[in-house]
A and B are shown apart, each in its own frame.
Chain A
Amino acid sequence: MGDYSKKFATKLKPFLTDKTFTVSEFIDFINGLLEPLKLCKVMIRGEIGEDIYVNEKNGWVIFNLIDQEKSELGCFGLSYVVDRMGVEIRPGLEVKITGYPQLRKKKGRFSFQVERINPVGEGDLKKQFEILKKRLDEEGFFDPKKKKSIPQLIKRVGLITSKGSDAEKDFLTHLKDYGFEVFKYSSRVEGDAAVDGITEGIKILNRNYSDLEALVITRGGGSWESLQAFNSEELVKAAFASRIPVISAIGHENDVTLLDMVADKRVSTPTDAGKFLSESWEEAERRINDSEKNLSASIKKIVSQMEKRFLEQAAFFERRIKRILSEKEKDMNYFLNALTDKIERKIDKFHSLEKEFESQSYKIKIEIKKKKEKVINFYKDLQKNKLRWEKTIEKYLLKEDEKLNLSSPDLKLKQGYSITKLQGKILKSVNDLSAGEVIETTLVDGVVESRVKENEQK
């Protein structure tokens, strides 16, 4: 500490030489010197002093922190910070405060700015725990309906724990090799620094690694006091706000922490967390092995069933075809019988027609024979009686000749008749003639030409 002060003084000296501050400048300068403590945060343990001033209107509290050496530290805290403690602030209450020192410009008083205040005594811690639990429960932080489900077959996991701790080793040992990608965020897991560390871890992982499927917050078992970080309101709220499902694995089965209550899944130990994440993979591996067996068995069963069905079908078809064939055969026989029957009837008819024809043709033959004989006989008779036939015909001819001679015009002319013609045509009427025309009259022994004097109709 002494060396550090000397080094620091050496650095400051050139700046301070011939420098005169105004009051404001000096207070700013002092606060500047205190700045590293603001960044780091300071934790102080002590007892609340007698005088506590609560400014309800502006929402702040002033109190003194004292110790056995009667040292006093003026503290300033906003009301909500003090209320968050869960236990009512009272003189004599043993607490741990976190914050930073500051020289206040008004009145130039040195005071400690309280950012977190926690009781220290076990009784008060328990009391604080119960009050906080009740309030957070009422505010719905532990509502089972608001819990996110932890996906199966997780690959990407966030891990918040103390680097190199037994908890980390136990978790990683029991996280079986299923290709997990573990994003480790190292944080203190005990004391007030743990609250900041873990809360920050939850926020960073959510912000920068939002594709993580689960976030494991773990540490080994310990005393009730050592687990207080996991009972802090800030941590509960950060875990509740996490979009990545949170798995709490605080190795303390008997005492449930508030983180366990807000977490989406609680397991007892770091080992259990590793086992829990591996479980669904082990199950998948088992089921995949079973599936192989089941699929093979199923396909064998189906094939044999199909085979059986095919054989049954084939037998059925065979029976059916046989039946159809026998039916067709029957039909065919029936048809053949009917056809034979018909043909036989036709043949019979043909035979009877043939017979009839034969008998008819015989009759015709006889008839022809008779006609033929008649003609032959007539011809024979004709030859035999030739002379008689000739005389008869001659007599007949003479008779006819005589008839012809009697009607001849020459005979008429001989008997005194004449034939009168005009220009070669035989005249039959006086009307065919006119006076002065020349007519020709044929007599038996010659022709006379004469001129018509007059014609008179009878």
Chain B
Amino acid sequence: MSKNNFDFTKAYKEIEEINEWFQKEEIDLEEALEKYERGMELIKKCRERLEKSKNKFKEIKDKYKNDE
């Protein structure tokens, strides 16, 4: 269930932000470790999402077509 709730776009954005954060001049080690851990966790989740994603299709019928 939790996988379905996973917001890829949000996670991806956060990964990008973490990447950007690491470009800073002054970096606090403890914060860096926290960000690293968070980044790796998000990367793992995004990968899982990418690996398990088959496309789904649905046919839409309009009222005339339903009558056919």
Contact = CB atoms under 8 A, between A and B. Distances in A.
Interface of A: 152-153, 158, 163, 172, 175, 177-186, 200-201, 204-205, 208-209, 281, 284-285, 287-288, 291-292, 294-295, 298-299, 302-303, 306
A454 to B, nearest CB: 137
Q: Which 9 A-B pairs have the closest CB atoms?
A: A179-B53, A298-B22, A180-B55, A185-B60, A299-B36, A295-B39, A153-B9, A182-B57, A181-B56
A182 B59 CA distance: 8
B29 A306 contact: yes
Contacts of B9: 152-153
B60 A179 contact: no
12 contacts: A153-B12, A175-B55, A179-B53, A182-B58, A184-B59, A184-B60, A208-B60, A284-B46, A287-B15, A291-B19, A299-B32, A306-B29
A178 B53 contact: yes
Contacts of B53: 177-179
Contacts of B8: 153, 284
A273 to B, nearest CB: 14
Main secondary structure of the interface of A (DSSP, over half): helix
A288 B60 contact: no
A287 to B, nearest CB: 7
Given A285-B50, A295-B22, A302 B56 contact: no
Nearest to B35: A295
B35 to A, nearest CB: 8
A157 to B, nearest CB: 9
B42 to A, nearest CB: 9
Contacts of A186: 59-60, 65
B8 to A, nearest CB: 6
Interface in B15-65: 15-16, 18-19, 22, 27, 29, 32-33, 36, 39-40, 43, 46-47, 49-50, 52-60, 62, 65
B55 A183 contact: no
A209 to B, nearest CB: 7
Contact of B29 (A183, A294, A302): A302
A298 B36 contact: yes
B24 to A, nearest CB: 10
Contacts of B19: 291, 294-295
Contacts of A306: 29
Nearest to B38: A295
A294 B22 contact: yes
A152 to B, nearest CB: 8
A197 to B, nearest CB: 9
B54 A288 contact: no
A288 B47 contact: yes
Contacts of A178: 50, 53, 55
Given A179-B49, A302-B27, A284 B18 contact: no
A25 to B, nearest CB: 29
Contacts of B56: 179-182
A205 B49 CA distance: 27
Contacts of A177: 53-55
Nearest to A152: B9
Given A288-B46, A291-B39, A303 B55 contact: no
B32 A205 contact: no
A292 B44 CA distance: 9
B22 A204 contact: no
Given A178-B50, A181-B58, A209-B60, 19 more contacts: A172-B55, A172-B57, A177-B53, A180-B56, A182-B56, A182-B57, A184-B58, A184-B60, A185-B62, A201-B60, A284-B8, A288-B43, A291-B16, A294-B19, A294-B22, A295-B18, A298-B36, A299-B32, A303-B29
